[in-house]
A = this chain, B = another copy of it.
Amino acid sequence: MKPAAPPEPWPLLIRLLLAQRANLPTLAAELELSPAQCHVLHLLEPERPLPMGQLAETLACHASNVTGLVDRLEARGLVRRQPSAGDRRVRVLVLTPSGARVRAVLVERLMAPPPALERLALVERRALVRILSRLLEDATEP
């Protein structure tokens, strides 16, 4: 009898990721936002000004994209550019009250677990939380 191959969770996570990729555009459309705008809004927490450069880095995209992205969000009154306290080259982003409301809805729907997850047994949910927490700690601080 041959030794069993080690279990491979990664292909399953990839499938989950790709399945989820099709979900974001739908949610975004309901809020009349693009997926990229959702990503920005999700990253921009209330009461936490975010320098534009830092946003570009987190989005892993060029700074010039952020300009246009923020232009459109600002035109809709969801965010505001503000001069930074220290370095006057830096501009920080803040949510407007309207932006904070839209973000709250977005986060709520983004965080609504799919029905399949609700049906997991309690022990499995605990196991999943424990393992994923370990993964994320490990990924952010290797």
Residues of A within 8 A of B (CB): 6-22, 25-26, 39, 42, 58-61, 110-117, 119-120, 122, 124-136, 138-139, 142
Q: A26-B60, A42-B18 are in contact. Are A13 and B132 (CB under 8 A)?
A: yes
Copies of this chain: 2
Q: Shortest beta-carbon distance, A56 to chain B, in Å?
A: 11
Instruction: Select which of B8, B113, B135 is within 8 A of A116 by beta carbon.
Output: B135
Question: When the two chains form their complex, are residues A132 and B12 in contact, meaning their CB atoms are under 8 A apart?
Answer: yes
Question: When the two chains form their complex, are residues B12 and A59 in contact, meaning their CB atoms are under 8 A apart?
Answer: no
Instruction: Select which of B39, B58, B61, B129 is within 8 A of A8 by beta carbon.
Output: B129
Distance A38 CA – B6 CA, assembled complex (angstroms) = 27
9 A/B residue pairs, CB under 8 Å, sorted by A? A7-B125, A7-B126, A8-B113, A9-B113, A14-B111, A26-B60, A117-B135, A124-B130, A124-B131
- Which of chain B's residues have a CB closer than 8 A to the CB of A128? 7, 9, 12, 127-128, 131
